Amino acid sequence: MRFVRTTENVSTRSWSGRARSNRVWVFLAILAALAAVGTWAVAATPRDTLVVGTTDRISQLSPANSYDYWTWHVLEQTAQNLVTIKPGTSEIVPCLAKSWTVSPDARVYTFQLQKGVTFTDGTPFNAAAMKWSLERALRLDGPEGAVGLIKNIAKIETAGAYTLRITLKEPDATFLARLADPVAPAMAMSPKSTPADRFANGKYAGTGPYRLVSYVPEERVVLEAYSRFWGPKPKIQRVVEVFYADAAALRAAIQSGQVDVAFRTFNPEDILSLKKDPNLQVIQGTTSLSVRYLVFNVTQKPFDDQRVRQAVAYAVDRDQLVKDVFAGLNHPIYSMVPPGLWSHIDAFPKRDLAKARAILAAAGYTSAHPLTITLWYTPLHYGTTEADVAAVLKRSLEATGVIKVDLQSLEWGTYVQRQSDGALGMFLLGWYPDFLDPDNFLAPWLVEAPGPLGTHLDKAVSAADKAAYEKFTTLLQEAKRVADKSQRTAKYEEAQKLLAQTAILVPLWQNNHQHVAVARKGVQGIILDPSMNFREWLISK
């Protein structure tokens, strides 16, 4: 999951073409003025401009120090990776690298790079520039970023102007996926425009179809098509992304014609209602790999007891959650590896209150001596439905007659800090993939970052959890060291079964309602695929 942090200011650059610049700036000025007084007129957006509305936010436009959806989304429109995901699929295909080979020991990757590519500041792209970009990210290693995704890199070398050789510390079958967009630390950045020894904060140049024109925190991002882009030209000359306070404001914006496309995030009832609007089209992604789940801190009592966690896993009512809170749009899930991704199995059990009571009794809890626990949630980061989610979970757990639940909430920044510090025992989180591989739905909490992500499994206190940590480490390392998909699948299936047995995480639902875009009639080219990438350069109107 790419955590949303604080917002940073960035510098702006003027648009070329005085006439078109004036026309669009007038339009933006009108938008700003209307926003200030809280009202909007129904008016068509400029023909050569795509206006996109969202309730998401940008943390920091720094590839080495950001880890959230919309920041990576903006970076993806303006910069590129060595490889990419073919739209509409989960297939890794060439991008800045036109081909590659892998050594027999799966540690050395040699990339042949595209020729004739320039960064949006005019600087030529080549192997030296790509080497500089990757080494810069590794060197800066921002505390708010995701450079850990590529830290298996041991050495980067150039062999001519357009040959790049990357040597890994250990074999890793997920490595190509970690180099694909929108993994920001692996993006190519211009050595001319991007600061070498500090975070970019919006001062960068990539090789993407668009260049960043301006960013006003909490208000908008403006992108303009790069005239020398080496690939297929964007369908729209410029993109304006407008940030809205909540789902109600986003719905009003798309219905009034203030925006051409609205994406992330609507309330479930809004999606059902907007489907009836004849002026709109509601585009549903084929498979959402975004998941929601419960996390247990295994170092905190009573959650250091696997039996307590197992009882909660038996007691949660996923069906009631998706029905009552999400109008049936989301799907219950029984594994952290979601349906639609290879190696998925339904590892967790269905709801069984009798089983939950029996496990609790064995752990010493009864109606006369109930288990009293706190469920933490954050009220706004995941949308306005989160309090309802917590309430349904409380009811489903208390239906055992043995569990008493106290609900507590924290704003997002404090929430993240306290989970990392180990202060939260049981809490709600969400995840969508950094890269398309089952490893990314298991390893982060269990072996890679159990502290920052709140399980603290690496500091387990019980013998059972210590053994589980060792087993997860072995399983997931072995899965990455083999290229054969069937062998990897067997390892991930075993890991999913072990996770269900230990209940360190409890998967709840698949977030389909976030994988929905609403557009005005006439807007075309929106593709919502398992990568979760939102490619604005493919959209036309």
- Spell out the domains of the chain, with CATH numbers in brackets: 18-284+515-538 (3.40.190.10), 291-513 (3.10.105.10)
pLDDT at 40: 41
Mean pLDDT of all residues in 397-404: 98
Cα distances from 527 to residues 36, 180, 263, 447, 536, in angstroms, run 33, 17, 12, 33, 9
pLDDT at 471: 98
Does residue 8 register a pLDDT over 70?
no
Q: Each residue of 375-401: b (16+ CB within 10 Å) or e?
A: bbbbbebbbebbeebbbbbbebbeebe
The one-character DSSP state at 470 is H
pLDDT at 24: 46
The phi and psi torsions of 133 (rounded to 5 degrees) equal -60, -50
- pLDDT confidence of 286, banded at 50, 70, 90? confident
Does residue 21 register a pLDDT over 50?
no
pLDDT at 118: 98
- pLDDT confidence of 526, banded at 50, 70, 90? very high
Tell me how far apart the alpha carbons of residues 289 and 69 are, in angstroms, rounded to a whole number: 13
pLDDT at 455: 98
Does residue 179 register a pLDDT over 70?
yes
Query: Long-range CB contacts (< 8 A, 24+ apart) of 32-39?
Result: 32/219, 34/258, 35/219
Mean pLDDT of all residues in 346-352: 98
Give 11 or 189, the one with higher predicted confidence.
189
The phi and psi torsions of 50 (rounded to 5 degrees) equal -100, 120
Q: Classify strands 261-263 and 403-409 as parallel, antiparallel or unpaired.
A: unpaired
Give 4 or 324, the one with higher predicted confidence.
324
Over residues 237-265, the pLDDT tens digits come to 999 999 999 999 999 999 999 999 999 99
CA atoms 330, 335, 338, 344: torsion sign: negative
Over residues 142-171, the pLDDT tens digits come to 998 999 999 999 999 999 999 999 999 999
Does residue 78 register a pLDDT over 80?
yes
Q: Classify strands 49-54 and 83-85 as parallel, antiparallel or unpaired.
A: unpaired
pLDDT at 45: 84
SS3 content of the chain, % helix, strand, coil (to 5): 35, 20, 50
Within its chain, how far is the Cα of 509 from the centroid? 16
Mean pLDDT of all residues in 361-381: 96
**What SS3 state is found at 374?**
strand
Weakest mean pLDDT among 45-49, 76-80, 111-115, 185-189: 45-49
Work out the mean pLDDT of the chain and round it to a whole number.
92
Mean pLDDT of all residues in 42-53: 85
Q: Which residue type does 22 have?
A: N
pLDDT at 31: 52
Nearest to 353 by CA among 320, 402, 319, 388: 402
Does residue 348 register a pLDDT over 70?
yes
Mean pLDDT of all residues in 508-515: 93
Nearest to 300 by CA among 421, 216, 196, 386: 421
pLDDT at 287: 82
Mean pLDDT of all residues in 446-457: 95
- Above pLDDT 70, what percent of the chain? 92
- pLDDT confidence of 315, banded at 50, 70, 90? very high
Tokens of 265: 């995030």
pLDDT at 43: 54
- pLDDT confidence of 483, banded at 50, 70, 90? confident
pLDDT at 514: 86
